[in-house]
Structure formats: structure tokens, C-alpha cells
Amino acid sequence: MLLVRTPFRVSFIGGGSDFYNYYKNSPGAVISTTINKYMYIAINKKFDGKIRINYSQTEEIERRSDIKHPLVRESLKLFNINSGIEISSQADIPSNGSGLGSSSAYTSGLINGLSTYLGKSLSKMDIANHTCDIEINRCGEPIGKQDQFSVTFGGFNLFEFNCDDTVCVNPINNADGIRKLEESLLIFYTGQNRVASSILLEQNNNLNESQYKAYVKNIVELVYAFKASLEKSDIKNCGALINESWFYKKKLSENVSNDSIDHAHKVAMANGAYGGKILGAGNGGFIMFLANKSDHKKITKALDFFRPYNFLFDSSGTTVVYNDNKL
């Protein structure tokens, strides 16, 4: 058996600028970190030559072309695997619509696992690029590129998306600022599931219009201001910048927020939060806030209609944690 562990991610600022429709003309930037919640992919050789896939449902088929799970089908196609394999997955968080990069964590882990299964060595850049290719090009998902790079590389990074379609990975190593940010962070599960692709499709289409590109350009400027504040360990200003970016993010699609999320944001701010936003595409999943640790209990009590979610930052990217595979 071969087992791959891939972390989920929290994106602080810059989302939307990782769409090709934006960065093809103007560079994008995102700051994010991975956390100690994971997607696990187990891969086994199957003795009877069939293909078995275990996720929220189970598929057992003889031909790769009959696989319903598009990420698995296209990943097996990438590596020219046609038969005799079993793939199982398990996650620490809800796998659909979480806003923590679960789809990319699945695909990145699968690419890492399949390449290792075949005895091939891929760099993290290769894994991230293959993950983008599978999700965006082969499966046609209307998404950006931040999640694929964040979960593959791991750690706390500034990602820059260049007009030539390359990505620069810039680790942020200010230990004091990152520690204080981690201590200030509150995340809640809204209990609201949503289909991210429909929200992202609207955002992506809107980026063809100059008005929406201007909103994202403002967000990109806030990314570098956030980095400067983090380097000064000014977490209060980091929160204010997240709040400002959330203002622009909501302009990209009317479906990014809803009454429940807007109410939660207002309540948290009234109880001492520096700033906050929904994670991922929006309209559900997880919501985050930055606040002084002394205000955490008060904010958590005020948001008792959401479930608090505890975690730590994690420096690992996708990793093969066990491998006794013998082809």
C-alpha cells in the first residue's frame, strides 16, 4: 500500500487574482498557508485487474473510460494506468464546498501518489502544474491556481501568478509575525454547503470586464500591504486589509456572501475582530476572523450559531507517508 497525506490551506488575501482571465494581463498574488488538516489518498495494486475507487461512493469498473470521478479518470489517463489499481480517500474536513482547497488537495495527493506508485520522481512544481492541468484544462473547472500550489508546496507563502502562466513560490519566513497571526486566527464552520464551481464561474466570467479587473487589481495591492504588515507583526492592520479585500471580493459576484455570512461578519466585528472573510469561493463553508486572543471567547460565544474549528499551521506539502508498494 501507498499512502499520501496532503494538507488543506487557508487563503488570507488575493483570491481572484489567480484566475487566468486576470493574470494573463496583470500579475496576480495570493498569500496562504497550509494547516494540519489533511486529505489522505491510499493506493493499492488490485489483483483482479479491475479499477476500484472509494470516495463518497464506490466505483468498480474494468475500463478507465467508465470512471465517473473526473479527477481520478484524468489522472489515470495522465499516467497511462488502465487497470489493476484501487484508490481510496479520506479527509479531515467536509470534502465539498469547504473553502479549504479540498479538491486540489485530492488531486495533488493523487498525482503524487500515482507517480510514486509508478516509480517516477516528480518535483513539487511538476505536481502543482499537473494538478492545475487536470482540474482546469482536462476537467474544465472554472477555478484559479492558488490551491494547487499551496497544498503541493505547503507552508506559508506568497504566490505570484505571472502573465506567461508561470507561478513564483515565495516562502514567508517571519516567524514572529506568523506566530502572532496564528494566535489571532479564528475559523468557524458555517454548516452551509455550496457548489463552488457556479460561484467561481461567475467570478471568472466577470473578469472579462474592466470594472471587475479593477476590483482584483485593488486586491493584489492589498496582498503586498498585508505582507508588509505581517513582516512588522502588525496583525491588527492585517485584519483591516483582509476586511478591505473582502469588500472587493463581494463585488466580484453577488453569490460570494449571503445574509447569514454578512450577519456573522457584523457580529464578529462588533465583538472585537480586526477583520474577516469567507474562505474559498464564498456563500458557505468556513469563515475566518483575526482578533486579539483575549477577544476569542467573546467572539466565539457571539457566533454560537457557527461551529468553531481549531487547527495549527503546517509546513508540509503533499507527502508520501507510507510506501511498501511492489509493482
For residues 246 and 181, membership in a common domain is answered with yes
- In this structure, are 106 and 192 located in the same domain? no
Instruction: Tell me the DSSP string of 91-110.
Output: ESS-SSS-SS-HHHHHHHHH
Q: What's the whole-number mean pLDDT along residues 36-56?
A: 96
The residues facing 169 across adjacent strands are 159
The answer on pLDDT for 108 being more than 70 is: yes
Instruction: Write the pLDDT tens digit of every residue in 144-162.
Output: 999 999 999 999 999 999 9
Same domain (yes/no): 192, 251: yes
Q: Is the pLDDT reported for residue 210 higher than 90?
A: no
Contact (CB, 8 A) for 64 and 81: yes
The answer on pLDDT for 208 being more than 70 is no
CA terminus-to-terminus distance, the chain: 10
pLDDT tens for each residue of 235-285: 999 999 999 999 998 888 777 788 999 999 999 999 999 999 999 766 678
Mean pLDDT score, 89-106 = 86
Round to whole Å and give the CA distance between 132 and 129: 5
Q: What is the pLDDT of residues 284-311, one digit of tens each?
A: 789 999 999 999 999 999 999 999 999 9
Residue 98 pLDDT > 80: no
pLDDT at position 313, please?
97
Q: Are 142 and 225 part of one and the same domain?
A: no
- CATH number of the domain within which 268 lies: 3.30.70.890
Task: Give the pLDDT confidence of 32-42 residue by residue, as tens digits.
Answer: 999 999 999 99
Q: How many domains does the chain have?
A: 2
| 209 or 260, which is more confident | 260
Average pLDDT of the residues in 77-100:
89
Does the structure show a pLDDT above 70 at 58? yes
As a dihedral over the C-alpha atoms of residue 240, residue 241, residue 244, residue 245, rounded to 10 degrees, the angle is -140
Residues 167 and 179 in one domain: no
Residues 266 and 199 in one domain: yes
Residues 200 and 307 in one domain: yes
Looking at the fold, whether 133 and 192 belong to one and the same domain comes out as no
pLDDT band per the 50, 70, 90 thresholds, residue 95: low
Q: What is the pLDDT of residue 325?
A: 74
Q: How high is the pLDDT of residue 284?
A: 74
CA pair distance 278, 187, nearest whole angstrom: 9
**pTM, full prediction:** 0.94
Average of per-residue pLDDT values in the chain: 92
Grade residue 196 by pLDDT with cuts at 50, 70 and 90: low
- pLDDT value, residue 93: 86
Residues 187 and 125 placed together within one structural domain of the fold: no
Q: Give me 79's grid cell.
A: 499516467
Tell me the pLDDT band of 82, cut-offs 50, 70 and 90. very high
Helix (H, G, I), strand (E, B) or coil at 31: strand
Tell me: do 245 and 271 sit in the same domain: yes
- Please tell me the predicted confidence (pLDDT) of residue 229: 98
The SS3 of residue 158 is strand
pLDDT (mean) for 91-109: 87
Give the separation between CA 127 and CA 110, rounded to whole angstroms.
Answer: 10
- Among 192-201, 210-219, 263-272, 309-318, name the one with the lowest average pLDDT: 192-201
The 3 state secondary structure assigned to 160-229 is: EECCCCCEEEEECCCHHHHHHHHHHEEEEECCCCCCHHHHHHHHHHHCCCHHHHHHHHHHHHHHHHHHHH
Spatial separation of the C-alpha atoms in residues 169 and 160, rounded to whole Å: 7
Q: Say yes or no: 179 and 141 in one domain.
A: no
Residues 160 and 190 in one domain: no
Return the CATH number at 47.
3.30.230.10
Range of the domain at 45: 2-173+314-323
| Collapsed DSSP state (helix, strand, coil) of residue 260 | helix
CA distances in angstroms from 134 to 35, 73, 111, 233, listed in the order given: 23, 10, 9, 38
